[in-house]
């Protein structure tokens, strides 16, 4: 039986044929090139705006080449967990990491739902350990976890007995009703019992949260007294231990709040992940690690088996550093009004990358190979760097705790995991040492290994550095989907999230781990490296688009043109039409609506001019060392029954005084002015070519994209743009228009 497993592959990778898409992709590229050459050869039009347009359009053409390259040969990896099961004695252990950082923005009830879904995975419990990192140092989170582990003793057996699919109780009970008559009486009774227990649990947490002094900080909780979020010693608590190593019990559950001191940078999530890696290295040292954000619960309980099919595949699995599952969301607002669900991006871009050296690391829903995180090269066997496993070198790299260095050496040699007869709690003291904020001083942590520091998108950076060493990655997309999480609730949190990402991308793009450097000096392949430009230029696109949009407005206001007249105009027009029809078809093909397509197109313009542009500026500030940019945590909302009452308005744009709204409002005001100037014939007349149809179509398109802002100008309350934003934008718009007119008339 075991033999059979070796003969049949655990996973298979299939590349799709996409002839039609390739033809259209190429056609669009040809049109873009045609447009550029037209600009070069019609030199009689040569002016500064014409030149700027040429630069921007060259950039757009370059981005199209990046996209075309990325989408050219998509692949899907099919996994066969049933074959894996024939090798049960070989199933490797997996350490599971959950990060949370703020009990208010990330309510503990959400975190414990994620934890419960992990504890209930269809995988031998003695091979799993769940570590929760709490950067909020919150007794509430700890309390919630303790209560959750009590509930888990009933919940996990229930899920396994009835083969429940969604094992995060809040989702399970909100989706499933037991009306079906074919269900057994026993099931119905147990179901009601579980529902009751979960209800009590969440009520209890709600009550505790609402009190000003939730509970006395004594006994188990005494360690939390006199702590501040940014100033406290390490707290590690083993909440549950699978003492006897039984496969049908519960996995270990461990709470960690790493030490924080004001004078030490804590490096946000990357710092937390590195502490988790070290603490788990001491306690369980599993060769694989699963990383999820606190809101990303398991949607497919067999996901570990699927991922192991890829990582354990005897043929190609050895070079895979990480397995990435798509980021998908539950209860996403219909038709994705804020463009934060990324469905088409995962389907086309990430799948496209999967056909090259693999998808980028998205920060959550990822299975890592511990060895790869430790900075080993894929072909290194046993010995590491210079061929020596010298302890001195290892101490320099991994830090001075001997116990940990030994565990790391084991992990790197890939020596068989010895069933741990020592339980996690016997390592607490050592674990506290490696969670110290000074432990990493002078070591390689965050620089050459572990989660890398310096960028707010530690995920992309860390993934790139592994690719640089020659590792690959794979997508794992089983049915049902692996994990689902919580998309940002509104326009503002979406923009702030994306601004953070784009700040991080800017830093990566200009840093030593930029895709270009990885291509030149690392083992990342050419096309894979080029596909990384898709992510890492997301911020730079803001600069070019803002320039282009400003240029168009300039043309309208000063009655000049950047688009050709006559026959030449057909090039951009054809391009515009084909591009839009083509992307629409792409959406329809994967079952998305036309509305969603339009929302995403619109948000692409809004996002790029706002989040990308600001992200770029922020990134520049960070690179210049002027100030450090903080990681703003995205708020996670726990669905309450009152939430869907106003669901019809859920997709409406809401505004507030945040400066992120200034750019959009300014663009809108400038364009409205420009169009008015054109209609009232206030444009200066001169002998040259005036602005024409091309400029007019584009301006209309921009205004249509910012339509929700236009409505915001006249709406009230949350839906209206606040006066202060309008005033600031009006000043900017006035300055711009004035500048154009004084320049254009001269
Ligand atoms: O100091 C911090 C800040 C954040 N987090 C955790 O990091 C995760 C991601 O934070 P979130 O606010 O949800 O950010 P998102 O933008 O939704 O996250 C995406 O983008 C991040 C990079 O910007 C990645 O780290 C994430 O994994 C990825 O899901 C959450 O679990 C947080 O608890 C910490 O542990 N410590
Ligand atoms: Mn998130």
As a 3-state breakdown, the chain gives helix, strand, coil percent values, each rounded to 5, of: 55, 10, 35
Looking at residue 437, the DSSP 8-state letter turns out to be: T
Question: How far away, in angstroms, is 633 Cα from ligand 1 center?
Answer: 6
For the Cβ of 363 lying below 6 angstroms from any atom of ligand 1, the answer is yes
User: Which ligand 1 atom is nearest residue 364's CA?
Assistant: 27
- Tell me, yes or no, whether 51 and 141 share the same domain: no
ipTM > 0.95?
Answer: yes
What pLDDT, on a 0 to 100 scale, did the predictor assign at position 666?
98
Q: Specify if 274 maps to a domain.
A: yes
Q: Based on the fold, state whether residues 369 and 271 are members of the same structural domain.
A: yes
The set of catalytic residues is 135, 459
Residue with CA closest to ligand 1 atom 28: 363
Instruction: Specify whether 43 is located in the same domain as 177.
Output: no
Domain hosting 592: range is: 19-72+539-623+655-745
Query: What pLDDT, on a 0 to 100 scale, did the predictor assign at position 566?
Result: 82
Is the previous residue joined to 480 through a cis bond, with omega within 30 degrees of 0? yes
β-bridge mates for residue 232, sequence order: 260
Q: Is residue 294 lining ligand 1, measured as CB closer than 6 Å?
A: yes
Query: What is the spatial distance between Cα 456 and Cα 451, in angstroms, rounded to a whole number?
Result: 11
Token pair recorded at residue 645: 């009452």
**Residue 85 tokens, joined:** 């099961």
Q: Is residue 635 included in any domain, yes or no?
A: no
Q: Which residue has the tokens 């006994």?
A: 219
Residues 454 and 481 in one domain: yes
Q: Which of 695, 703, 704, 693 is nearest to 672 (CA)?
A: 703
By most ligand atoms within 8 Å of CB, the mutation choice from 96, 97, 101 for ligand 1 is 101
**Residue among 232, 197, 195, 200 nearest 217 (CA):** 232
Query: Is the beta carbon of 99 within 6 A of some atom in ligand 1?
Result: yes
Other beta carbons within 10 Å of 8 = 12
Adjacent-strand bridge partners of 516: none
Residue 147 and residue 253: Cα distance in Å, rounded? 12
- CA gap 638, 628 in Å, rounded: 31
Res 746: pLDDT: 42
Residue 142 burial (CB count, 10 A): 23
Atom 22 of ligand 1, nearest CA residue: 457
Within-domain flag for 310:
yes
Which pair of tokens denotes residue 194?
Answer: 């579980």
Q: How many domains does the chain have?
A: 2
**Please, which residues bridge with residue 98 across strands?**
132, 292
Question: Is 586 labelled a binding residue?
Answer: no
- Within a domain: 343: yes
Q: Which neighbouring-strand residues pair with 323?
A: 367, 474
Residues 63 and 93 in one domain: no
- Nearest protein CA to atom 9 of ligand 1, as residue: 293
CB 77, CB 13: distance < 8 Å = yes
Q: Does a structural domain hold residue 677?
A: yes
pLDDT for res 739:
92
Question: Is 106 annotated as contributing to ligand binding?
Answer: yes
pLDDT digits (tens, 9 = 90+) for 530-584: 999 999 999 999 999 999 999 999 999 988 888 888 888 999 999 999 999 999 9
Residue 530 lies in a domain: no
Token pair recorded at residue 595: 């509305």
Residues paired with residue 13 on neighbouring β-strands, in sequence order: 77
Same domain, yes or no: 608 and 666: yes
DSSP 178-217: TT-TTS-HHHHHHHHHHHHHHHHHHHHHHHHHHSSS-S--
Q: Look at the block and give the residue holding tokens 């700027």.
A: 52
Of 452, 487, 509, the position where a domain reaches its end is 509
Strands (E), 37-176: 75-79, 94-100, 128-134
CB 627 within 8 A of CB 616: no
Low-confidence stretches of the chain (pLDDT beneath 50): 1-5, 387, 419, 643, 645-646, 745-746
CA-closest candidate to residue 468, choices 416, 408, 532, 420: 532
Gap from CA of 251 to ligand 1 centroid (Å): 24
User: Which residue owns the Cα nearest ligand 1 atom 23?
Assistant: 457
- pLDDT score at 262: 95
Residues 104 and 42 in one domain: no
Please give the backbone phi and psi of residue 434, each rounded to the nearest 5 degrees, phi first: -75, -10
Per the CB < 8 A criterion, the answer to whether 533 and 349 are in contact is no
Q: Decide if 633 is inside a domain.
A: no
Do residues 59 and 92 both lie within one domain? no
Is the CB–ligand 1 distance for residue 342 below 6 Å?
A: no
Atom of ligand 1 nearest to the CA of 497: 16
For residues 117 and 264, membership in a common domain is answered with: yes
443: helix, strand or coil: coil
Could you count the other beta carbons within 10 Å of the beta carbon of residue 26? 12
The answer to whether residue 378 is domain-embedded is yes
Atom of ligand 1 lying closest to residue 98 CA: 31
Model pLDDT, residue 645: 44
Q: Does the annotation flag 335 for ligand binding?
A: no
Both 121 and 33 in a single domain? Answer: no
186 annotated as belonging to a binding site for a ligand = no
Torsion of CA 613, 619, 623, 626, to 10 degrees: 90
Specify whether 486 is located in the same domain as 586: no
Same domain, 67 and 86: no
3-class DSSP state of 166: coil
Q: 509, 528, 548 — which closes off a domain?
A: 509
């Amino acid at each position: 039986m075991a033999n059979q497993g070796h003969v049949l592959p655990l996973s298979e990778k299939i590349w799709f044929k996409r002839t039609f898409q390739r033809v259209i992709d190429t056609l669009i590229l040809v049109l873009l090139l045609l447009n550029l050459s037209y600009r070069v050869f019609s030199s009689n039009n040569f002016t500064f705006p014409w030149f700027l347009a040429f630069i921007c359009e060259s950039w757009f053409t370059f981005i199209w080449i990046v996209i075309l390259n990325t989408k050219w040969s998509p692949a899907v990896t099919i996994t066969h967990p049933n074959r894996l099961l024939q090798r049960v004695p070989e199933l490797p252990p997996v350490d599971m990491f959950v990060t949370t950082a703020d009990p208010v923005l990330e309510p503990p009830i959400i975190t414990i739902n994620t934890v419960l879904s992990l504890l209930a995975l269809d995988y031998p419990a003695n091979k799993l350990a769940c570590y929760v990192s709490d950067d909020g140092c919150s007794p509430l989170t700890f309390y919630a976890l303790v209560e959750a582990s009590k509930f888990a003793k009933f919940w996990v057996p229930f899920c396994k007995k009835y083969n429940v699919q969604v094992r995060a109780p809040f989702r399970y009970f909100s989706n499933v009703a037991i009306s079906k008559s074919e269900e057994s009486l026993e099931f119905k009774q147990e179901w009601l019992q579980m529902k009751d227990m979960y209800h009590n649990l969440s009520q209890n947490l709600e009550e505790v949260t609402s009190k000003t002094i939730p509970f006395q900080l004594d006994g188990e909780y005494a360690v939390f007294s006199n702590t501040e979020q940014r100033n406290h010693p390490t707290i590690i608590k083993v909440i549950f231990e699978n003492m006897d190593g039984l496969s049908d019990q519960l996995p270990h559950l461990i709470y960690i709040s790493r030490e924080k001191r004001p004078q030490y940078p804590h490096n946000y999530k990357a710092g937390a992940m590195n502490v988790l890696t070290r603490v788990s290295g001491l306690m369980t040292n599993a060769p694989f690690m699963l990383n999820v954000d606190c809101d990303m619960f398991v949607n497919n309980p067999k996901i570990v088996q699927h991922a192991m099919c890829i990582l354990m595949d005897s043929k190609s699995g050895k070079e895979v550093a990480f397995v990435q599952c798509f980021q998908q969301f539950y209860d996403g607002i219909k038709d994705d009004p804020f463009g934060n669900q990324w469905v088409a991006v995962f389907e086309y871009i990430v799948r496209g990358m999967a056909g090259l050296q693999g998808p980028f690391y998205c920060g959550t829903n990822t299975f890592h190979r511990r060895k790869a995180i430790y900075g080993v090269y894929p072909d290194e066997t046993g010995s590491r760097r210079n061929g020596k496993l010298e302890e001195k070198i290892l101490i320099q790299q991994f830090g001075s705790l001997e116990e940990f260095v030994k565990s790391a050496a084991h992990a790197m040699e890939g020596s068989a995991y010895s069933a741990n007869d020592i339980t996690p709690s016997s390592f607490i003291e050592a674990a506290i040492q490696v969670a110290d904020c000074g432990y990493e001083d002078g070591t390689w942590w965050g620089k050459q290994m572990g989660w890398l520091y310096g960028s707010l998108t530690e995920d992309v950076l860390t993934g790139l550095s592994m690719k640089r060493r020659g590792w690959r990655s794979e997508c794992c997309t089983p049915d049902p989907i692996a994990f689902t999480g919580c998309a940002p609730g509104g326009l503002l949190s979406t923009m702030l999230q994306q601004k953070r990402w784009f700040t991080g991308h800017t830093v990566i793009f200009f840093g030593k781990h930029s895709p270009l450097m990885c291509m030149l000096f690392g083992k990342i392949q050419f096309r894979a490296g080029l596909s990384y430009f898709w992510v890492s230029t997301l911020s730079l696109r803001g600069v070019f688009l803002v320039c282009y949009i400003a240029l168009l407005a300039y043309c309208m206001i000063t009655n000049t043109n950047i688009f050709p007249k006559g026959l030449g105009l057909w090039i951009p027009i054809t391009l515009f039409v084909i591009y839009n029809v083509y992307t629409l078809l792409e959406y329809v093909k994967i079952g998305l609506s036309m509305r969603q397509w339009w929302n995403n197109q619109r948000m692409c313009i809004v996002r790029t001019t706002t989040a990308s542009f600001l992200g770029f500026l922020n990134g520049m500030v960070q690179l210049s060392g002027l100030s450090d940019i903080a990681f703003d945590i995205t708020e996670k909302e726990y669905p309450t029954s009152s939430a869907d009452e106003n669901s019809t308005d859920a997709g409406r744009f809401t505004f507030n005084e945040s400066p992120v709204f200034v750019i959009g409002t300014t663009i809108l005001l400038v364009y409205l002015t420009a169009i008015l100037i054109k209609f009232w014939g206030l444009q200066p007349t001169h002998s040259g070519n005036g602005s024409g149809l091309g400029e007019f179509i584009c301006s209309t398109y921009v205004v249509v994209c910012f339509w929700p802002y236009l409505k915001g100008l006249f709406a009230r309350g949350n839906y209206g743009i606040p006066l202060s934003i309008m005033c600031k934008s009006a000043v900017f718009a006035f300055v711009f228009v004035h500048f154009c007119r004084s320049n254009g008339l001269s």
